[in-house]
């Protein structure tokens, strides 16, 4: 399934939209595997911590500078004229080329939850995903005679780490904001089920309409399998490395003790599952409807009484 569903024969097919979400699972898992190679490097996430950036007049963090520079180039290449791409940086330059002729799918809206995505990625995901590399760095530093805070500082891979961070953030952003397409397709399938709750601003009822627990359960089962398969260490012969642990990335089994013969992983599989269960799925549903800046609550904005009535009279699609 390609990730660009917008020009497919039926861009509002729920199956096609879900296919994009499933395909983004690989993008996110492999990007996290790449990031797990490097230590946390906390300095690159601290605003104003890099003197050379302040000399440039940039008072954000190293990562925010990477986002600003990369997204500036992508904006000139018209990336953000696409309705499924959302920048983390504001005040980007205009595109060099005219926008592509995207089909008019989404209702005009102002939903952009990237500040929340950036926050949970830095404070909850990064420390866990980089734990193994950070612990190895601290051990190396102690062996060099460094004790205390200096053990944990950084492995110097500021550019590589931030480059991968941007890839992870862009993939998570696309995945979460795709919730708008999910909402639109569910709304168009049965407008009269949604409209009374939109008019009464009943977010709970709208949340119940869009939530599919069986889809979420299947996703988390699939995700654990993918992260465990893709994240397993392989030897030069391409066979899984028999080592310690059960996919939490640091060689210690679920019971906190070393377990021989269980294989070894490049990534904390539990963290990948928690990323979706605790952050990506709930935020996708906030974008769909239940949050403070949701898509469906704005769905009737600008429509006339007649347009709303026509939607109410529309028979539900099977
Ligand atoms: C995305 C959908 O809507 C909701 C959000 C889901 C998610 O973020 O994975 C999965 C099922 C639904 O609860 C969907 O129905 O596929």
Residue 1 lies in a domain: no
Q: How far apart are CA 180 and CA 296, in angstroms?
A: 8
CATH at 20? 1.10.590.10
Residue 149 lies in a domain: yes
pLDDT at 291: 58
| Contacts for 140-147: CB closer than 8 Å, 24+ residues apart | none
For the CA of 175, the nearest atom of ligand 1: 8
Q: What is the extent of the structural domain holding 163? A: 9-233+265-313
Sign of the four-CA dihedral 21, 22, 24, 29: positive
Instruction: Give distance in angstroms: CA of 94 to centre of ligand 1.
Output: 33
Residue 250 lies in a domain: no
Nearest CA residue ID for atom 13, ligand 1: 211
For the CA of 280, the nearest atom of ligand 1: 8
Residue 243 lies in a domain: no
Residue 247 lies in a domain: no
Instruction: Give distance in angstroms: CA of 213 to centre of ligand 1.
Output: 8
pLDDT at 259: 37
Among 84, 189, 277, 281, residue to substitute to test ligand 1 (most atoms within 8 Å of Cβ): 281
Determine whether the shortest distance from the Cβ of 134 to ligand 1 is under 6 A: no
The 3-class SS string of 141-161 reads HHHCCCCCHHHHCCCCCHHHH
Residue 248 lies in a domain: no
pTM: 0.90
pLDDT at 292: 58
For the CA of 14, the nearest atom of ligand 1: 16
Residue 245 lies in a domain: no
| Contacts for 98-105: CB closer than 8 Å, 24+ residues apart | 102/6, 102/7, 103/6, 103/7, 103/11, 105/6, 105/11, 105/12, 105/181, 105/184
Instruction: Give distance in angstroms: CA of 230 to centre of ligand 1.
Output: 23
Residue 2 lies in a domain: no
pLDDT at 92: 97
The count of domains in the chain is 1
ipTM score of complex: 0.98
Q: How far apart are CA 65 and CA 42, in angstroms?
A: 15
Task: Report residues of the chain scoring pLDDT below 50.
Answer: 1, 245-246, 249-261
Determine whether the shortest distance from the Cβ of 233 to ligand 1 is under 6 A: no
Q: How far apart are CA 165 and CA 87, in angstroms?
A: 14
């Amino acid at each position: 399934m390609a990730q660009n569903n917008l020009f497919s024969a039926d861009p509002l097919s729920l199956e096609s939209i879900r296919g994009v979400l499933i395909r983004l699972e690989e993008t996110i898992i492999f990007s996290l595997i790449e990031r797990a190679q490097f230590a946390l490097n906390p300095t690159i996430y601290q605003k104003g911590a890099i003197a050379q950036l302040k000399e440039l007049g940039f008072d954000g963090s190293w990562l925010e500078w990477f986002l600003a520079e990369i997204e500036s180039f992508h904006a000139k290449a018209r990336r953000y004229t696409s309705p499924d791409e959302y920048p983390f940086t504001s005040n980007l330059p205009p595109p060099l080329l005219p926008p592509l002729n995207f089909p008019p799918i989404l209702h005009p809206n102002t939903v952009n939850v990237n500040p929340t995505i950036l926050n949970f990625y830095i404070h909850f995901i990064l420390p866990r995903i980089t734990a193994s590399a950070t612990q190895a760095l601290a051990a190396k530093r102690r062996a060099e005679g460094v004790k205390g805070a200096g053990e944990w500082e950084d492995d110097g891979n500021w550019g590589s780490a931030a480059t991968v961070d941007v890839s992870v953030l862009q993939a998570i952003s696309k995945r979460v904001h795709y919730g708008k397409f999910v909402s639109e397709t569910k709304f168009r399938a049965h407008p009269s089920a949604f409209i009374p709750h939109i008019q009464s601003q009943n977010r709970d009822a709208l949340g119940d309409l869009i939530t599919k627990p069986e889809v979420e359960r299947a996703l988390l089962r699939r995700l654990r399998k993918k992260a465990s398969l893709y994240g397993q260490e392989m030897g030069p012969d391409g066979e899984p490395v028999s080592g310690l642990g059960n996919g939490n990335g640091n060689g210690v089994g679920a019971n906190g003790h070393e377990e021989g013969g269980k294989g070894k992983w490049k990534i904390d599989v539990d963290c990948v599952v928690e990323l979706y269960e605790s952050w990506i799925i709930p935020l996708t549903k906030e974008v769909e409807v239940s949050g403070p800046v949701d898509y469906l609550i704005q769905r009737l904005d600008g429509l006339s009484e007649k347009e709303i009535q026509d939607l109410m009279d529309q028979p539900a699609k099977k």
